[in-house]
Chain A
Amino acid sequence: MASETMTSSEYISHHLTNLTYGNHPELGWKIAETAKEISDMGFMAINVDSMLWSLILGSLFLWLFSRVARKATAGIPGGLQNFIEMVIEFIDDNVKSVFAHKNNLIAPLALTIFVWVFLMNTMDLIPVDWIPYLSSLLGVHYMKVVPTTDLNITLALALGVFALILFYSIKQKGITGFLAELSLQPLGKWALPFNLFLELVGLLAKPISLALRLFGNMYAGEMIFILIALMPFWSQWLLSVPWALFHILIIFLQAFIFMVLTVVYLAMAYDHH
């Protein structure tokens, strides 16, 4: 990456390629070296860089919060405990205003989704070349550090939420009640296939829109950082500071929206029409 001169489109596609490990039909189990090898590996190839960074950030979240929880004092809190309490109160207020039923899973779920997605999005603020340069010194040539720019990660989160939506819908309304709600609205029982089609589209739109919204925002943000990195060196601060400031807002907003929509969809799973 630092040795030979690349064209700008090579630079861009280098920064957009994940570190993929899979079973290539001719070359066996290996880390892919070109984009063609990645597509040859097919579906069962894993993006090692996204998995690594999402696990690192998830463990950081768990370690930090559990450490503060264990040392929590009822007296005057220190700085870190104050900050963590602020985060938890924020999540609590938002969940309470949306979710009116009793469920012990929702608030921790909302906290996990918000903090984890926020941490993963924040990796986008690190200058584009720093970590890939360090990793190329170690021999690893592709390293995308923002897990949420990988559609696999956002779809995994959204499918987890979708599984919870289905679970709670069926638990609250029974399987017949759930199917009845899907097929008897909005037009009554004589339009059953039509109702089912509309309701299924609406149901599937929830996780797909969750995943693609987060992916689209983060991918576009990362793309603009990469394009700014291609500009001449004297314009770097001029261009990247406004974009990074705007991106800080987007990071927080997208994590917040993912969390709020998760809680709203789960609240809808409890409501009877």
Chain B
Amino acid sequence: METALLYIAGALIMGLAAVGAAVGIGVLGGKFLEGAARQPELIPLLRTQFFIMMGLTDAVPMIGVGISLYIMFAVA
């Protein structure tokens, strides 16, 4: 029973992290494309900032992924 609960916990963490990351980066990417369409000459600058923002938005979901994989493989 305990291992089953641990697996469910790991799966929940991973799933919610995936939703958060996907929605966040989707919105961010949409804004990037809008800005790039408005001013194509700014694309390299916007791209750098996009990747920085992506790294920050992805941080907590990645932490969740790391913890969930740890739970699923090293604990359960």
Contact = CB atoms under 8 A, between A and B. Distances in A.
Contact of B66 (A12, A35, A212, A257): A212
B: contact size bracket: 10 to 19
Interface string B42-76: 00000000011011101110111111011001100
Q: Among A9, A213, A253, A261, which residue has the most Cβ atoms of chain B within 10 A? A: A213
Contacts of B67: 216
A220 B66 contact: yes
B20 to A, nearest CB: 13
Contacts of A220: 62, 65-66, 69
B73 A16 contact: yes
A: contact size bracket: 20 to 34
A interface secondary structure, majority: helix
A217 B73 contact: no
Nearest to A218: B66
Contacts of A172: none
Contacts of B65: 216, 220
A215 B64 CA distance: 11
Given A216-B65, A216-B66, A260 B74 contact: no
Given A13-B73, A13-B74, A216 B52 contact: no
B63 A216 contact: yes
Interface string A182-215: 0000000000000000000000000001001101
Interface of A: 9, 12-13, 16, 35, 209, 212-213, 215-217, 219-220, 223, 253-254, 256-257, 260-261
